[in-house]
Amino acid sequence: MKRILFLITLISSFAVVAQKNIYESPSFDVLSADHNVLAIIPFLTNLDLNEKVSKSEQKRLEENEGYAVQNALETYFSKRSKKKNLPVTFQNIENTAAILAKKNISYENIDVYTTKELSEILGVDGIISGTLDLNILLSNGVPTEFSFTDYFSGGANYGRIGIKISDGDSGKLLWKYEKEINKKTGKNTTDLIDRMMKLAIRKFPYERERKRDRNKS
């Protein structure tokens, strides 16, 4: 019984932390009223690895990590959409990549384009983007050695991730979720995204129940 209560307390504490790291625009309902399709773009990554690598290799690794998160988010939303009839759909990331390539937009220069510009180019209503700060290659997996000290103290921190949704017409930030990356958040990119989005799902603004709750309040 004590073990069950401990687990419930631990899960509840994770949920509280997740909610504290979430921002939602007061104008979300107004700005997203006509949203039908969102595009997920590669995340901008900053790697600070212990081992020395060349600048070109670091750029390649950062790009790989950014695309890994994009892919993991598409996988998550694809699974979520099968369980839940979300009011928005998500542009296939292969289509996103093809459209951007035709406009000569790559990972190296995508950050010079505004949300409004990218939304117009991609033909979507909003953009899901974000940043990664890492001191490991998350896509390769995090160290799996178990340590009670690390688990409860928050040690073995590997960086931070920020996910945001921006409105295509106005370019305004609609929703943002930031989370520290450590042994507790997932063993690799896919696991990380799956776990963190499950913690945030009650605060994910496109959930139909969530929208009804806002309208009631």
* pTM of the shown model: 0.81
> How confident is the model over 64-87, as a mean pLDDT?
91
SS3 annotation, 113-175: CCHHHHHHHHCCCEEEEEEEEECCCHHHCCCCCCCHHHHHHCCCCCEEEEEEEEECCCCCEEE
What are the pLDDT digits (tens) for 4-58? Answer: 444 444 444 444 444 458 999 999 999 999 999 999 999 999 998 887 888 899 9
Assigned CATH topology for domain 2-216:
Rossmann fold (3.40.50)
Give the domain ranges of the chain.
2-216
The Cα–Cα gap between 52 and 125 comes to 41
The Cα–Cα gap between 128 and 41 comes to 6
